[in-house]
Structure 1
């Protein structure tokens, strides 16, 4: 999976969300429109209709532009081409998640009966996908576990990312299990604990890998 795939997907998603907004606008009454929902799917945040319909396409356009230009702003020593698969999967995952979020927002305003379950499963699926590609990441300044120790020693980078892959996939499985089995009230803590816990493990591991390599 290379950048052209993620760029094409991103542009298509911008077009799709914009088209959905334009198609739905005449069918949605003027007034507040739900744009933020709790974990049970109930609206708890609102925007004016036209703002709500355009905020996601504009957000996707801004994210696409940022992700498109960031690789060209890297130092020459950190070429992202060596980690294109990780970058592309992260890019596509985030854009797909936001695109489905827009579908949920518009569908809710139109009175469609849509389950929030795919949105709750999204973080876990994204962690599993990125974790699967993480061991393939090569040293760069945009994606991966970028600590002072991984960026200063390629051996530490590779050891840390070989660990980061299974750790992220385990965190994703915990998130999926929580989304499928637990009441929504507990999911915030499951997501935060799994996400921050996995990050803490690999950051601390990178430090100890660096210490161990210096002692050998």
Structure 2
């Protein structure tokens, strides 16, 4: 497995939250807030060493997993058909984890940021990026809409992803707008969007598979 400069750069980006946390170790609380409710209140905590270990795992884990996954994927030859898209999505997810990690560190250093105004637009933007390139993701076992029916038929895979792409983009746009809704509305809107983009393509892939077999 060949490692390139961009791979090491991704790992370096993933390390930034952990490095910042270690530099400010004594300024961080013994119990760090790691989960928030829709009212910007902390409702989940982790001990400081465990929280920093989580930052390390999230920052390094995703770039490493996505690098290794394509090498062990039974359909590894298909990655050359969407090489540019795959690398773009790797970067998008790496930057996503960087922002999430830095948010946790900064918040626990005493800067009371609004979690909803960070996470909703961030997740929405990631959904829009994924949706924009969804139709270009080729048949594989690592990335994309992996249902029993898309994985069993390449035609079902292709048509399901083409159908789902605009839906993911629309859901992402709604999530971004959801950041400006009252706290009691924001979470239900986000969960509804996630439910739609998961359930509809799943049902569609099943229907299409049955239709092609008929």
TM-score (norm 1): 0.83
Could you tell me which runs of 5 or more consecutive residues in structure 2 were left unpaired when the two chains were aligned: none
Aligned to 1:35: 34
Report the Cα distance in structure 2 between the residues aligned to 1:160 and 1:33, rounded to whole angstroms.
41
Aligned to 2:199: 200
- Residues 1-216 of structure 1 correspond to what in structure 2 (within 5 A)? 7-28=7-28, 31-76=30-75, 79-116=78-115, 117-180=117-180, 182-215=181-214
Report if aligned partners of 2:34, 2:44 keep a CA contact under 8 Å in 1: yes
Could you tell me which runs of 5 or more consecutive residues in structure 1 were left unpaired when the two chains were aligned: none
Deviation (angstroms), 1:84 = 3.2
The CA RMSD over aligned residues, in Å, is 2.6
TM-score (norm 2): 0.84
Q: Cα gap change, 1:77/1:51 in structure 2, threshold over 3 Å: closer, same or farther?
A: closer
When structure 1 is superposed on structure 2, of 170-179 and 126-135 the one drifting more is: 170-179
Indicate the SS of the match to 1:144.
Answer: coil
Deviation (angstroms), 1:204 = 1.8
Report the Cα distance in structure 2 between the residues aligned to 1:5 and 1:171, rounded to whole angstroms.
34
Q: Which has the higher helix share?
A: 1
Q: Deviations over 1:170-203 (max 9, x none)?
A: 11122122222x2122222222211121222112
Q: Deviations over 1:45-99 (max 9, x none)?
A: 2222333233212332233322221111111576333233443344333332332
Deviation (angstroms), 1:214 = 4.1
Report the Cα distance in structure 2 between the residues aligned to 1:5 and 1:126, rounded to whole angstroms.
24
Deviation (angstroms), 1:20 = 0.6
Report the Cα distance in structure 2 between the residues aligned to 1:32 and 1:159, rounded to whole angstroms.
47
Deviation (angstroms), 1:127 = 0.9
